[in-house]
Amino acid sequence: MKKELPYLKSLKEHLARARNVVIVGGGLNGVELAAACSANHQLHITLVEQLPRCLSGVFNDDTCILIEEKLRRKGVAIITGAAAEELEGCHRVEGVRLTGGRTLPADVVVLATGIVPNTLLARQAGLATDENAGILVDEYMQTSATDVFAIGDCAAQKFLASTGGSLTRQAGPAGHEARVAAANLFGLKRAREITVKKISVAIGDLVFGSVGLIKISLAETGTGMPTTALAHDVIAKDLAVKVVYVRETGATLGAEVYGKPLIRVRETMNNLASAIERQTPFAGLALA
């Protein structure tokens, strides 16, 4: 799914004439587009995701279920565990055939399947890469070749409270990386700032956000020792927070926040991100 203005204008015009809309991809873009389209009650919207849950790469399963329920209440049909196999139609799209043979009627199809960095040139040049995250770089945005730098969507991003490269592509970190790389072209002078990853999605008046590492996985805690990641829930008026922390050390890894209004959710996310950056233990968090 492109974000250029001409494409979005064209999409808006097609949606105004459509009846059946199929969105392929249940990530951030696909979910937000489905929620936006649901405001037009003349549209029959189907969201197709090949994984078992929408947004499973961003939130834990229980939050993914809440998001899917919210979308269904807004009239969005959700099909998971299936992929788009073929677009059908003559001269224009008329349907989407899924794996398993089912065909969905469609006047408009939007592909919101995300991106995978094209690392072919880097690999041909002998640079170190990660199959999914992109070209591996150090804190100076320098690749495994000292005279080659990589930034943005092709470069593996790094966030606090996570290990390895991140699949999340965000404009803010990319702009910061560009400034860091430019400063280091004639000598290593500036290291990039490693921040806590924050992602949010709005569905109607309800906002869902994730901060840091929220997938409860022993392999991702990065402690070098056997650990148990636990989740602690706090529910206040119009706001719920789930904090993920390491039982053995009390280290806060991340959190999920959902509720309303937007400004309160964002403020809570920013406070939690700052706490993780300061390495505030779980016991020291102010959650309510």
Domain that includes residue 94, residue range? 5-111
Element (H, E) at 231: strand 229-236
- Looking at 87, 111, 135, which one is the last position of a domain? 111
For the whole model, what pTM was predicted? 0.80
Q: Is the pLDDT of residue 143 over 60?
A: yes
- Looking at 130, 154, 183, which one is the last position of a domain? 183
Q: Do residues 12 and 105 both lie within one domain?
A: yes
Choose between 256 and 169: higher pLDDT.
Answer: 256
Element (H, E) at 66: helix 61-73
Q: What is the pLDDT of residues 221-250, one digit of tens each?
A: 454 443 445 556 666 678 888 888 877 778
Q: Is residue 64 part of a domain?
A: yes
Question: What pLDDT was estimated at residue 165?
Answer: 47
- Looking at 93, 111, 129, which one is the last position of a domain? 111
Q: Is residue 190 part of a domain?
A: no
What average pLDDT does range 167-186 have in this prediction? 82
Q: Do residues 150 and 83 both lie within one domain?
A: no
Q: Compute CA distances 228 → 98, 112, 172, 248, 287, whole Å.
A: 39, 35, 32, 7, 21
Helix then strand then coil, in percent of the chain rounded to 5, is: 25, 30, 45
Dist. CA 122–CA 228, nearest whole Å: 37
